[in-house]
Amino acid sequence: MGSKMIKCEICGEEVHVIKRHLEQAHQDVSYEQYQETYPDAPLLSESAAAKLDEIAARRKEETQRALMAGHTPIKSGKAAFHEVFEIPETTADALSSREKKPIPITVYATAPVGYDDFVPDKDPNYIFNVDTLKLLIMGLESNIVSYLVGHAGTGKSTLIEQACAMTKRAMLRIQHTVHTEESHILGQYIFKNNETVWEPGPLQIAMKYGLTYCADEYDRGMSQVLSVYQPVLEGKQLVTKEAPAEWRVIKPHPDFRFVATGNTNGAGDDTGLYSATSMQDFANYERFNLMIPVGWMPADQEIAVVVAQAGVLKQDAKDLVRFANEIRKEVDGGGVQSPISPRALIAAAKIGQRIGSFSKGIELAFLNRLNSVDKEVSGQIAQRILTR
């Protein structure tokens, strides 16, 4: 490192780095004690300081080069689950089930370059179901492919979006229908500016740059199309034979995550509510290692959501949620076919607040979409609960 060394104030030996010298020759004296005892003494020789500056500059340059290439997003490190999602630390939900300690989770400082807009916006009025959230975060942290299943309106996609928003994960949400084709997922050649160019698919982009891929309404896709996901669900590389060299083989980025949602578990719809879904291939669904049921919110949580989202009084929200739960009981018992989702309930609350009648709000946001039998039964329940 050169001859311009510094002197140790304890023994007089000339060294380049005081901290390293203390660890080797004066183990009974800490670095902090040395600084307190000799506040004006140098700690690094000029050549050592220059070497450290050179290393720091090289690391900065390497990080910047990786970012410009769209590679690994910068992680700000681990944070406590309860702090990120604003859950009281005193509750059991905030702690790990075994050690009873705060749960460390990853929070990102930046998204991959060019994908900042793919980090969902935080909804300050969103209220998490903590038990379901913990399962989803476990899947994201442990890179376990996860499938959220539940009725329409239970908040499956929103849960994923808000979990990504709070942890600053860039996310791609892809809707699946009977018309979804392999090219919509894997990419295709298109004619642009008088030439044929490859347009990468959302799965290619998510895998290459480390985004969270949300395969929404997974059970509405055709099983032969969904089979393109199978190697990805196994954690293997994605091969698109017709793609150009730079997109032909994509190994999953360390931060790539795969999450799917559906109204059924792939075995078909036995409720009659989701005719757009279809019986799926068992081999495909068998590759989802974490199946997360998403049910209706507990009453107190749904009340809080309606108050926050619609701006109504708590008592009015209680009446609306009571109505919703009565309808859901009727659905479970076979009395009516159509449950009311929190989304429709919030809409009814907003409408009812504006026109001065929550029963009318329910009629406009929910009852008018039902068949005549369901409308009659549900209307009687609304009349009984919401007319005051």
Say if residue 323's pLDDT is above 80. Answer: yes
Mean predicted confidence (pLDDT) in 240-269 = 92
- Taking a C-beta distance cutoff of 8 angstroms, is the pair 37, 22 a contact? no
pLDDT, position 281: 86
Distance CA 64, CA 112 (A): 11
pLDDT, position 275: 77
Say if residue 318's pLDDT is above 70. Answer: yes
Distance CA 68, CA 260 (A): 30
Higher pLDDT, 332 or 72: 332
pLDDT, position 378: 93
pLDDT tens digits, one per residue of 205-222: 999 999 999 999 999 999
pLDDT tens digits, one per residue of 7-48: 999 999 999 888 889 888 898 888 888 888 998 999 888 888
Mean predicted confidence (pLDDT) in 290-296 = 92
Higher pLDDT, 86 or 228: 228
Asked whether the CA dihedral 324, 311, 136, 118 is positive or negative, the reply is positive
pLDDT tens digits, one per residue of 147-169: 999 988 888 999 999 999 999 99
pLDDT, position 67: 45
Mean predicted confidence (pLDDT) in 45-62 = 75
pLDDT, position 94: 64
pLDDT, position 379: 92
pLDDT grade, residue 75 (50/70/90)?
Answer: low
Going from the C-alpha of 237 to that of each of 23, 141, 279, 345, the distances in angstroms are 46, 20, 27, 43
E strand or H helix at 375:
helix 372-386
Say if residue 268's pLDDT is above 50. Answer: yes
Q: What are phi and psi of 136, to 5 degrees?
A: -65, -45
Distance CA 175, CA 350 (A): 28
CB atoms within 10 A of CB 252: 19
Lowest mean pLDDT among 99-108, 246-255, 295-304, 351-360: 99-108
Could you state, in order of their start, the residue ranges of all structural domains in the chain? 6-68, 75-293, 299-386
Distance CA 261, CA 278 (A): 14
Strand, helix or coil for residue 226: helix
Per DSSP, helices labelled H in 152-253 are 156-167, 182-186, 202-209, 223-226, 230-233, 245-248
pLDDT, position 3: 53
- Taking a C-beta distance cutoff of 8 angstroms, is the pair 119, 230 a contact? no
Lowest mean pLDDT among 85-99, 270-284, 346-360: 85-99
Say if residue 78's pLDDT is above 90. Answer: no
Q: Half-sphere exposure (CA, 13 Å, Cβ side) for 134?
A: 15
pLDDT, position 249: 94
pLDDT, position 71: 44
What amino acid occupies position 243? A
Say if residue 125's pLDDT is above 50. Answer: yes
- Mean pLDDT comparison of 65-69, 109-113, 130-134, highest-scoring range: 130-134
Say if residue 89's pLDDT is above 80. Answer: no
Say if residue 2's pLDDT is above 50. Answer: no
Lowest mean pLDDT among 43-52, 231-240, 305-314: 43-52
Say if residue 6's pLDDT is above 70. Answer: yes
- Taking a C-beta distance cutoff of 8 angstroms, is the pair 228, 242 a contact? no
- Say how many Å lie between the first and final Cα of the chain, rounded: 86
For residue 30, give every residue at least 6 positions away whose Cβ sits within 8 Å of its Cβ, in sequence order, or none. Answer: 22
Say if residue 97's pLDDT is above 90. Answer: no
pLDDT tens digits, one per residue of 192-207: 788 888 999 999 999 9
pLDDT, position 1: 43
Q: Estimate to the nearest angstrom the gap between the alpha carbon of 77 and the chain centroid.
A: 17
pLDDT, the chain, mean:
87
- Taking a C-beta distance cutoff of 8 angstroms, is the pair 90, 99 a contact? no
Share of the chain above pLDDT 90, in %: 54
pLDDT, position 95: 66
Q: Which fold has domain 75-293?
A: Rossmann fold (3.40.50)
Alpha-carbon Rg for the chain, nearest whole angstrom, is 28
